[in-house]
Amino acid sequence: MFKKILIANRGEIACRVIKTARRMGIATVAVYSEADKEARHVALADEAVLLGPAPSRESYLVADKIIAACQQTGAEAVHPGYGFLSENENFARRVEEAGIIFIGPKHHSIAAMGDKIASKKLALKAQVNTIPGWNEAIETPEQAVKIAQDIGYPVMIKASAGGGGKGLRVAYNDKEAFDGFSSCRNEAKNSFGDDRVFIEKFVESPRHIEIQVLGDAHGNVIYLNERECSIQRRHQKVIEEAPSPFISDATRKAMGEQAVALAKAVEYQSAGTVEFVVGKDQSFYFLEMNTRLQVEHPVTECITGLDLVELMIRVAAGEPLPLAQADVKREGWAIECRINAEDPLRGFLPSTGRLVRFAPPPVSMEAAMPVPKDGGVRVDTGVVEGGEISMHYDSMIAKLIVFAPDRTQAIARMRQALNAFVIRGISSNIPFQAALLAHPQFVSGDFNTGFIAEHYGQGFSADTVVHDDPLFLVALAAFVRRKARERAAGISGQLPGHGVKYRPDLVVVVQGAHGEHAHHPVHIDAFEPVSGKADVVIGGRHFAIQSISKLGDMLMKGTCNGKAFTAQIERSDHKNPLGIRVAHNGKQIEALVLLPRAADLLKLMPHKAPPDLSKFLLSPMPGLLADISVAPGQKVQAGERLAVIEAMKMENILTATQDGVVAELLATQGESLTVDQPILRFQ
């Protein structure tokens, strides 16, 4: 067994690998960029080596520097994690040539599966179900249309070297096939330096289901059941679960056996994933093979009780697999939510900056440790409170994983865990995750890869979130205000006749964005300060709330009508010092809790409209102003490119919404922008 390994990655996956290595008694070496010198993975490792500047192309993607770091520290093996160089055949080969063990498949296996056209041919040869299509590179849009007609619409046009949703189009007719081919080819050339494009049948109402495989150097290959990854936004996975609520035991077995056949065909040694697209009739077709550890591997670990990172390390060290196919368990239900630094209310744009508060829910499971029989909550993360979410790297800041005896309990546990996850300083997708988990179609298991596009096609907004009981949030706001008045009334030294009084009748004003406030008369009875009990009555409904959470605590736990809850409650921002913000199950309200007379007077107050900013181009996210495409005095037309902002490995192009003339530039190229910072002004 290795004495020391280097982790050629960062963030949560680097921390995850370190946990297993530590349990196995293996010393670890972290690598880091200048932006990551205070990062969690650097602190956790036994040693750390600086690679270079913040951009990954100058640090985490430089193979020479990583190999040199191995030689400098005496690391015998490299674990690549996922992303970066994990599926780079040249890196794997160079590591092997340097006499260092690559904790992953051999470079020839990566090469065989890395090219979509080559991998499809291999799958056909191994008798794996493949989607009907044209497997040779297509030269012209006219040829693309002819092939699409032969296969039958709809078809999917894909770049051979594609990934992450780039170089991919769905065509339903000749025109879309013609235009889609040209777009895919250009995108593929710009993104991957490879303009080869192929066409295959588009499976309607498809589900994305993947099989985890594991092979060793002795010819043994097994499959560790499946993961359901159909909840995706723009081809990026959002929620994953194991097992799938859709496929039958017979389909699972057939998919597993075909995945094993493919892995054996490429002499696969390590953990890998064979991805399938599955039709509503449970017909399944090979999509691609990911020759690395997947982001969503924890859900497989939960239902099988295995540590996939440990198995990867043992296989790389030459050990045979410690179990056969018949030994693979499938117990309970696991769900993973990817917690991303993005603002769902602003079209999921990246959100960078300081993590002012980062308090995950209490954990009862941990990576590299035995899985509790009754399940629990696990958080895999590479950040700490006070840390910086950099614009240079991926937007994922944590993975929230729950495990329970069945799917219903797993969903309930995940909703509770999301309610208890506190992140401040940046925006996160937690409200969106909570909304997805509450959606009836998700709860029933009746969904496919088009689920988010179908239900949130116009984006995600506070109005699209449907809460089980909106008045519960109103009752919590009233309860907290009543508790605050009770405490204020007990402060000593108040002038006689002028002390704070608390009254049972209040009005909770739920504020709308455009001045359309909703008034809820509330009566609070039988308030007991010591036990934290009160009966909050709204419109004849009783909310018997009990909570001993302290005022000022962002997280409020307690019971309502005997049922446990966790909610986040805090004072609103400085513009609204009397306001209370309540968040629960993805729904958030801004409320004022007033005496009836004050609420009546509030109705007479005119709504102050926000300032007109239509003459300004504002930055929709924090990021680097990579390019300004216009100059003062220049006429622009609607749709014309104005500026480019770089954030989290993505280029975001800002375009003009209407015709106009540029008056002045308010930011300079290369400047770091904040949210809503003006970039330019129109006349």
> Which of 627, 624, 617 is closest to 657 using CA atoms?
617
Contact 29, 51 (CB under 8 A): no
> Which of 581, 294, 555, 513 is closest to 423 using CA atoms?
555
Tokens in use for 282? 């449970």
Angle of the 308-316 helix axis to the 297-304 helix axis, nearest 10: 100
Which amino acid belongs to residue 671? Answer: E
Q: Is position 319 annotated as part of the catalytic site? A: no
Which residue in the list 176, 187, 288, 301 is annotated as catalytic? 288
Contact 238, 338 (CB under 8 A): yes
Helix (H) / strand (E) containing 35: none
Contact 290, 240 (CB under 8 A): no
State the Cα–Cα distance between residues 110 and 125, nearest whole angstrom.
17
Strands 505-510 and 101-102: unpaired
Cis before residue 577, ω within 30 degrees of 0? no
**DSSP structure string for 477-508:** HHHHHHHHHHHHHT-S-PPTT-S----SEEEE
> Which of 394, 358, 398 is closest to 378 using CA atoms?
398
How many Cα neighbours within 13 Å face the side chain of 96? Answer: 14
Cis before residue 243, ω within 30 degrees of 0? yes
Helix (H) / strand (E) containing 433: helix 430-438
- Which backbone phi and psi does 579 adopt, to 5 degrees? -75, 155
> Which of 317, 363, 275 is closest to 101 using CA atoms?
317
Contact 292, 109 (CB under 8 A): no
> Which of 117, 106, 115 is closest to 263 using CA atoms?
106
Q: What is the largest CA-CA distance in the chain?
A: 91
Q: Where are the alpha helices (DSSP H) in 2-155?
A: 11-23, 40-44, 63-73, 89-97, 107-114, 116-125, 141-151
State the Cα–Cα distance between residues 428 and 460, nearest whole angstrom.
13
- Which backbone phi and psi does 58 adopt, to 5 degrees? -105, 0
SS3 content of the chain, % helix, strand, coil (to 5): 30, 35, 40
Tokens in use for 184? 């895919």
Active site residues: 288
